[in-house]
Structure 1
Amino acid sequence: MDNDISTFVVDWGTSNFRLFGLDSKGVLVDTIEAPMGLLQIKDGKFAEALEPKLKAMASSYQHIPVLMAGMVGSASGWKEVPYVAAPASVSDVAHSAVCFELPWGARARILPGVSYRSAELYCDVMRGEEVQVFGLPLITDSDNMHIVLPGTHSKHVDIKSGAISSFSTYFTGELFALLSHYSSVKPPLPAQEIVDENAFLKGVKRTANGALLNDIFSARALRLFGELADHEVADYLSGILIGNELHSSTHRNIYLVGGEALCARYELAAKELQIETYTFSGNTCFLNGIARIIKEIENEQ
């Protein structure tokens, strides 16, 4: 397997770490995932944390270049890489990477994130999602679309002529976690892997009037009056938050990019709100985006 890998690709976020080994044609050879996000790296020892993972995938790792994306390029990451301002193309991101040599001699690049400002007080940032966004056009064969990337901080991204033209971030996933663990509407039972569609859609329907803070408190009131069972509370809150997020969009056709389980919730909410969805794997889009970025880097050399 060693001789097959020509590039290491690292998706390094705040909580998780993913390593991909690609061959010279960009085909995936091997994958390693670990709960080794930035929060777990002590005293800035990123190289010491990375090296054993590379070695586990290929004994000749010292000679294989490493391309990194995600929060590893943030102020709290390995090396801070300035954002590229939208509109941002694949070329803009690829050519703005920070390059450096690893302790064992291999070359490394950390990709920048993308920033967007529409007016005073209205600005936004992303790190890592831009790679998935650039990978989607290889599947859809379209350079103009509205993409939603569900997650801790959900992204709504507009692509025009293949470039990221504008985007906005929603606090949906993190707010759900906060409500689920630290609030007075904390569900008495945790959310189940299989969504309770009835409870979830109750939450989505509740968001019709756009009163989010009132909608959230309704989880407590409905439970007190016996109109929401203990096992329904988590999915009801999920429906409120996702429904509220999708209500903010003016688009009637959206491309969902992410994990299967979370995207299924967005599909369910979108159908209730009469929004048409097209869903694609986050991993597939990420690797497609990386392939485009690698091609840009190779053309530069």
Structure 2
Amino acid sequence: MLNLCFFVLMAVSPFVFILSAVAEELKWEDVAYSQELERNKFVWAESNEVQKAAYLELYNKSIQYSLKNIGKPIKELDLSEAGPRIAIYHKVTFETISMLYREYGDLRKAAEYMFQFWGASQGGLAPDMLNADANPTDYVISNYEDAGMYKELSVFYSDAYKEKMKWLALGTDIKLLKIDFKKYKQNWPEKAEEYQSFMHNWRRAKQLAKTKKPKPLEPAVQNHEWFYSDRQEEVLKALEYYQKNKVQFMLEKALAHKDPIVAEKAKEYLENLKKGETNETENKKP
């Protein structure tokens, strides 16, 4: 797997961010890296479901705003809406969306948007990439691998091979590569190793595509996506999850849902939570 540098807020550390009293007030500074602590303030692996939902809401807001502003220079955006993470880019592209979905926790969508970025750049050098010297083909491969999307990856490798050869042709003799690989390796050992690694990974992807399935989303991420689904049954699944995990502010959001069945179910679940809190209080009395 290619080693690409991605800033991931969900890194594990011993510090647990304590969410403010009102979950929906979570701000970007609440999840940022702390120079004083030398670690992220927010720790996904050690956070409860309320904290995770607030984190996902924060990123979802950034994703939706960025999707509406594809192609625009970052300097023209409202970073209070977009979030500070996209400030590392010159303008909003599908690579930007891929990065946001990666940090949100949906590696499948991160891979899909990186593939769209590759398509928009026609698979060659992409001047709008964060790393202008990088090859977007490699980024697509890495994202597919991280998401466990080997079926899609094995298909993509056919196009990736053409792009890899173009990439190698920029500074080496690819005719020699095909005729006399041993001599090619003597002249360009690093490129030869890169080519061999590529071909090995392609064969590996074909094999894994037969047995491996994409990695499932974590429950918190899956239910957050269901919450915004157009399918009623998925939204109801999310509400049930939020009731079970006492994520009150998400249930309160659902009260204004356009689907009256969803809104009514949210009301029912909120009443259940209040009853549960009342019972807990009564049980604690001496």
Looking at secondary structure, tell me which structure has more helix per residue.
2
Band of TM-score, shorter chain: under 0.3
Question: TM-score, normalised on structure 2?
Answer: 0.24
